[in-house]
A and B are shown apart, each in its own frame.
Chain A
């Protein structure tokens, strides 16, 4: 950071000047340790270079501080003054050099992209399946990294990486940047804020009949005053009809399946970020109106609120349950990792591992049945996945026989196909019995979670439902650490029982696994979610179960 460099230069110059005074007043023969002070600028410079990185145009400061150290060895004060002067001059002229140096604090985002790209091109497992044109992607995104290098902007590089990843339509292709949880989140949020545009006082959602309507309208805001209300239909935005506008949005926040993408597409229609936008809508009386709305700050908070209402990710304690009626229990399964369980052992991944989690789940199921439950709702919305070998452990508590989970695959050079190498099945330990199970999913149900759903769907008493499909990424994740980001992508092939790719979408962008019931996001759903703040999907599941028997 340039301010840090200036700070270092200032401190070193001051210290060097201070040393003139010190040399003048102190008698070094009294105490040898006084000489150690000459090493202080050098130590500072070392510390600074370690944290901020080496920069060749600051060579003046580096050599100057080293020169100052040589006063340590001198006994003649005149010589000390001369050396101090030499050191001071070196340090002082550094800004002049640095300012004229074209590559001052140059960044290497382009090199980093090339390294990551090469690796991905070699190792990405679904290249043929999804018909990814790596060369085209390279040509498209390289200029963005070059631009990021020119402006020395990390947010630009991060945005280039994220957009590059979005092009794969694979939930397992993503980057993270940062050394702590907060840093990772901060970088991600910065990206989102730059993508979601300005806040016009409303969000847009698409109903199951195809209409795009206003949602989460700011009460008493400018848009409200102009007549916009929840549920009214928008017909065009910024001079473009709504269908065309939707087609031009980025696939945020969903990416693995095109149906999921279109479910959320309207959220991004207002992403242009302009201070004023023209729009046309059908007002309460049925007349089309044209108005102009003003955009304020960023849309991130409203975007997040709307998204949270739509997705309704499960936030309860993992593996906790409650009785929502006399015979129905609601069990939270929002992670395929359990805190405090034995850490992963790559030895025998049998049902003996995760014994803690298994025991807890067994206990919960027993308690549920004692409480009178013979119907179960498993809330897996927001379950981002975790350890795959958890799946047979949990699923086995519901299965009467050995049910297929997934196969690990390796490429066979002769048949030119991926063939199963190792297949995992559940065991048969059913302690739940035959009671009806409904699994709730959303587009955040991903990876190990959706493989679990895939396994459970093979049971006759299981029904899977949600507003959308699951995420659509079931491949094994591989990662590489680059200088500024960590790049993750699908690196290991997983196959289903027929030997085909498990769940992930192919070039059609349509994922292979559809829930039994896609709950239509109709007007009733809209009113329940945005007017009444209800959990419509859960209510739907409850009434579905009531109608079962």
Chain B
């Protein structure tokens, strides 16, 4: 597997599209954070701190990181399918399983680290404006992000599965678009938020918030930031289950497929 890893890394290091996608999504995320918190205002009741941006993660960083995961997993796993150079991986005398897991693990590594970077780095520009603040302690955000990364793992495995089954980038992305549309047409918010990926991300960053509307129109929100242990555990468990299922199905498919 090391040879597969090395040859893929050699190729991916020079692949501009991955960097570009990450950079674009990262900038979008930073812009959203900046425009939501408006650090250029001069106002009492400062909300443009890094920890405030952490409380917004469910609406802002999380969906973007998940989007990044979905796109990149298909991109990286599907590299070499279009021009058929993937055939060399098989002709070189490696078991199908080895080839699959070599590529899949690399995909997972790239997606999860990219997502983690988005989650951690995107709020940082606010440090210059308002500092870190105390809306949310770092360990709280850290643990939620870790569980979130398991969710990213699940999405990556789903992307890997889609790519291995459809074998063409266009079909893979069309399938993804259809799935996302399907989720959007669901009637109202789902009762169980942990199952569809989009709401699962937001669910991890929900805080029992206490808002009051004050005379000058300011909305002051105090957060009850205790970790919802059962949500986190359920989310982690479900993510691991789905990730393993999809990965196993993708591995089987890859092993039995004709190239």
Interface residues of A (CB under 8 A from B): 32-33, 35-36, 39, 46, 49-54, 69, 72-73, 119, 123, 179-180, 344-349, 387-389, 406-408, 422, 424, 476-480, 491-492, 494
| Interface contact tally, CB-CB below 8 A | 91
Top 6 A-B pairs ranked by shortest CB distance?
A: A53-B191, A50-B195, A408-B215, A50-B190, A347-B41, A478-B212
A49 to B241, CA, bound (A): 16
Which of B192, B210, B214, B253 is close to A119, meaning CB atoms less than 8 Å apart? B210
Q: B43 near A347 (CB under 8 angstroms)? A: yes
13 examples of A-B residue contacts, CB within 8 angstroms: A35-B253, A49-B192, A49-B195, A50-B191, A180-B188, A346-B43, A346-B218, A347-B43, A389-B215, A476-B215, A478-B210, A478-B213, A492-B212
**Closest partner residue, chain B, to A53 (CB atom):** B191
Taken residue by residue from 215 to 259, chain B's Cβ proximity to chain A (1 for < 8 Å, 0 otherwise) reads as 111110000000000000000000000000100110011001110
Chain A proximity of B81: nearest CB distance (Å): 15
A161 to B193, CA, bound (A): 25
A170 to B99, CA, bound (A): 68
**Closest partner residue, chain B, to A179 (CB atom):** B188
Chain B proximity of A167: nearest CB distance (Å): 22
Which of B42, B192, B213 is close to A492, meaning CB atoms less than 8 Å apart? B213
**Closest partner residue, chain B, to A42 (CB atom):** B245
Residues of A within 8 A of B252 (CB): 72-73
B196 an interface residue at 8 Å Cβ cutoff?
yes
Chain A proximity of B255: nearest CB distance (Å): 10
Residues of A within 8 A of B216 (CB): 346, 349, 389, 408, 422, 424
> Given A179-B189, A478-B210, are A349 and B217 neighbors across the interface (CB < 8 Å)?
yes
B170 an interface residue at 8 Å Cβ cutoff?
no
A50 to B200, CA, bound (A): 10
**Closest partner residue, chain A, to B206 (CB atom):** A481
Taken residue by residue from 199 to 211, chain B's Cβ proximity to chain A (1 for < 8 Å, 0 otherwise) reads as 0000000001011
A494 to B211, CA, bound (A): 16
Chain A proximity of B207: nearest CB distance (Å): 11
Residues of A within 8 A of B165 (CB): 33, 36
Which of A73, A345, A388, A476 is close to B212, meaning CB atoms less than 8 Å apart? A476
Residues of A within 8 A of B195 (CB): 46, 49-50
A478 to B211, CA, bound (A): 6
Residues of A within 8 A of B92 (CB): none
Chain A proximity of B229: nearest CB distance (Å): 17
Chain A proximity of B198: nearest CB distance (Å): 11
Taken residue by residue from 27 to 63, chain B's Cβ proximity to chain A (1 for < 8 Å, 0 otherwise) reads as 0000000000010011101000000000000000000
Interface size on B, residues (CB 8 A): 35
Chain A proximity of B169: nearest CB distance (Å): 17
20 additional A-B pairs beyond A72-B249, A389-B215, A479-B211, beta carbons within 8 Å, are: A32-B258, A50-B190, A51-B187, A51-B190, A51-B191, A52-B191, A72-B252, A73-B249, A73-B252, A344-B217, A347-B41, A388-B215, A408-B215, A424-B216, A476-B213, A478-B213, A480-B208, A491-B212, A492-B213, A494-B215
B186 an interface residue at 8 Å Cβ cutoff?
yes
Q: A389 near B210 (CB under 8 angstroms)? A: no
A69 to B219, CA, bound (A): 49
**Closest partner residue, chain A, to B238 (CB atom):** A46
A72 to B247, CA, bound (A): 13
Q: B253 near A32 (CB under 8 angstroms)? A: yes
A36 to B166, CA, bound (A): 12
Residues of B within 8 A of A406 (CB): 215
A400 to B225, CA, bound (A): 48
Residues of B within 8 A of A36 (CB): 165
Q: B210 near A480 (CB under 8 angstroms)? A: yes
Residues of A within 8 A of B245 (CB): 69
A180 to B187, CA, bound (A): 11
**Closest partner residue, chain B, to A350 (CB atom):** B216
Chain A proximity of B127: nearest CB distance (Å): 21
A180 to B43, CA, bound (A): 33
A64 to B212, CA, bound (A): 48
Chain B proximity of A125: nearest CB distance (Å): 9
Chain A proximity of B180: nearest CB distance (Å): 14
> Given A36-B165, A39-B249, A72-B249, are A422 and B215 neighbors across the interface (CB < 8 Å)?
yes
Q: B211 near A388 (CB under 8 angstroms)? A: no
A50 to B242, CA, bound (A): 14
Chain B proximity of A463: nearest CB distance (Å): 27
A123 to B224, CA, bound (A): 14
Chain B proximity of A27: nearest CB distance (Å): 14
